[in-house]
Chain A
Amino acid sequence: MTSAPPVVFEHGEIVQPRRVATPMWLRAALYWGYQYKRTWRSSIVTSFLIPVLYLTSMGVALGSLVDKHSHGVSGVSYVAYLAPGLLAATCMQIGANDTMWPVMGAIKWMRTYLAMLAAPLDVYDVILGHLAWVAARLGIVTTIYLAVMAAFGTVHSPWAILALPAGILTGMAFAAPMAAFSATQEKDVAFSTVYRFIVIPLFLFSGTFFPISQLPRLLEYLAYVTPLYHGVALCRDLTLGSGHPWVDVGHAAYLALWVGVGYAFCRRTFAARLVV
């Protein structure tokens, strides 16, 4: 057995307390940033490719048929109509995805949350840190998406800059409630169900691809209740410069309500799971 040096740390190492302590939740968010360092390249490439592929095939190719027969949708070309809808739908997917398996993993598989809780962080820091990271990632993806949209000539208004917070808000309206749900789960089987019966139907029927007025009346009302519809409408108003400001404030407030309620549930379910 080789001899080990003592762990009493070298003298002269004076640990100056930071002038401003890093907030606890930010320390948790930094962990997820660390994780992301491993995969950021492929993640960025994907964030570019997805909108390029969708906007080319559905927006431009399929859209040319739509434009020829119906002279666009709501007064703009189909690709300009579709792009903000896809932006919101992508944010929904990321918001939901990043709070399903990663939350379960951090509770059960890798026990990351437990490692954090053994450090000075508490359960609320753990939740806020994770959600803050999801918001940051949504910010990255939305920024890239908006750049691609601009390249496709689908950004018609300077208000489009506000589509960045709108995209983040849309994603978080799913992330917060989903995280609360994930913290109650013992196994990951429910996640594919959520995907099949919530995420995909919303993706298809919340005004992403066509106005919800095309839907039967009952489904149309249903679409109004879903957060994705409001995210789509908000992003679309902002990139096209259409819509009434107060209506958009209403959309944003509705999304914020989902984030707030989701966060309140997170505080309950995370505490019930992690503080026993």
Chain B
Amino acid sequence: MVEAHKLEKRFGDFVAVDGVDFTIAKGESFGFLGPNGAGKTSTMRMISCISPVSGGTLRVLGLDPATEGAQIRARMGLVPQEDSLDLDLTVLDNLMIYGRYFDLPKKVIRQRADQLLEFAQLTERANDRVDPLSGGMKRRLTIARALISDPDLLILDEPTTGLDPQARHLLWDRLYRLKQQGVTLVITTHYMDEAEQLCDRLVVMDKGRFAAEGSPRQLIGQHATKEVVELRFEPGHHEEIAPRVAGLAQRHEVLPDRILLYTDDGDAALAEVAAMGLAPRSTLVRRSTLEDVFLRLTGRTLVD
């Protein structure tokens, strides 16, 4: 569906995407993870043929975005990071007018709109203006709108950013259904749980490059241990205790409020901590998550 080779995006001297290679197969759901400014959105905008490619090659649906953008976009649905709904029009009119952009007959748009409103749980709001709807509703409408052309490829740029947990779970459920129906999904996110839920395969982007690539399980396997032990001592003592427990794990990390021990057997490590006579205020043994991988690969420094 999508093939990129040494793909680049530059804005003047700034390199947003620095020569990345990837292939997205039909029916796959592919994720781009990364901190803000990693180049996720730039990559997405190039795939959606909105933003011209600065270097390398890109083929989407077998076509060239530079010359066949309109044909590509006709078979693609885009959910941009910021909603671009018409706030003055009704929910239904937003779908109707969007269908007209694809030159679908009115009758067809109307039929699909009914199905999509049901899918997005917006049937009761069909004739309400969009403006007063909640963030989750607007997001669901944006997704419904992107589906009006029955696309082969659906691109979602941070689909659930800014939504409350209920709204996020509802959206995930809807996206999961689409995935099961064989729609190819391309998703950017900085929520690890979202990536674990939805993506078959993902890349972690950092400073315009891919820091890692694989399925969520593979990435955890490669870049993290099976389990993580979190030890909290009295504030200020972490630096001094860390060297003593470091030997218990394959890798450790000292944070201001806790020490993390990366190990394949958390309970055993914890037992040894106790055997050393250390008494942390609290302990936690948990499975590694993508978040551990993500932070390991992209660092803990805040990126603005």
Please report A residues at the B interface, Cβ cutoff 8 Å: 1-2, 4-10, 13, 15-16, 18, 21-22, 24, 27-28, 30-31, 34-35, 38, 110-112, 114-122, 275-276
Contact = CB atoms under 8 A, between A and B. Distances in A.
Interface string B217-238: 0000000000000000000000
17 contacts: A1-B173, A4-B119, A5-B119, A7-B116, A8-B181, A9-B111, A9-B112, A16-B105, A18-B103, A31-B97, A35-B89, A110-B87, A111-B84, A118-B50, A118-B80, A118-B146, A120-B102
A13 B111 contact: yes
Interface string B127-164: 00000000000000000001101100000000000000
B98 interface: yes
B70 A7 contact: no
A21 B71 CA distance: 13
B108 interface: yes
B177 A122 contact: no
A31 B103 contact: no
B111 A114 contact: no
Contacts of A111: 80, 82-84
A4 B143 CA distance: 14
Contacts of B98: 115, 119
B73 A110 contact: no
Report whether over half of chain A's contact residues are helix, strand or loop; otherwise say mixed.
Answer: loop
Interface string B167-187: 001100110011001000000
Nearest to B99: A119
Contact of B170 (A1, A21, A119): A1
A27 B103 contact: yes
B23 interface: no
B84 A21 contact: no
Contact of B70 (A5, A34, A115, A120): A120
Contact of B86 (A2, A16, A21, A35): A35
Contacts of A1: 169-170, 173
Interface of B: 11, 48, 50-52, 69-71, 73-74, 78, 80, 82-89, 93, 96-98, 100-105, 108, 111-112, 115-116, 118-119, 121, 146-147, 149-150, 169-170, 173-174, 177-178, 181
Contacts of A7: 115-116, 119, 147, 177-178, 181
A114 B84 CA distance: 7
Given A18-B105, A112-B84, A119-B98, A9 B115 contact: yes
Nearest to A38: B88
A27 B102 CA distance: 8
B28 to A, nearest CB: 18
B84 A13 contact: no
A252 B74 CA distance: 39
Given A5-B115, A15-B104, A114-B84, 4 more contacts: A1-B169, A21-B103, A30-B97, A120-B71
Contact of B118 (A5, A8, A15, A276): A5
Given A15-B105, A121-B101, A9 B84 contact: no
A110 B86 contact: yes
A39 B278 CA distance: 73
A13 B148 CA distance: 13
A115 B94 CA distance: 11
Contacts of B146: 118
The 3 closest A-B pairs by CB, nearest first: A119-B101, A111-B84, A115-B84
Contacts of B87: 110
Contact of A2 (B83, B97, B121, B181): B121
B219 to A, nearest CB: 29
Contacts of B89: 34-35, 38
Contact of B103 (A6, A8, A22, A35): A22
Given A110-B84, A110-B87, A112-B84, A31 B69 contact: no
A243 to B, nearest CB: 43
Contacts of B70: 24, 120-122
Contacts of A35: 86, 88-89
Given A4-B118, A15-B104, A122 B80 contact: no
B78 A118 contact: yes
Contacts of A275: 50-52
Contact of A118 (B73, B121, B147): B73
Nearest to B104: A15
A117 B82 CA distance: 14
A144 to B, nearest CB: 24
A118 B48 contact: yes
B116 to A, nearest CB: 6
A155 B132 CA distance: 48
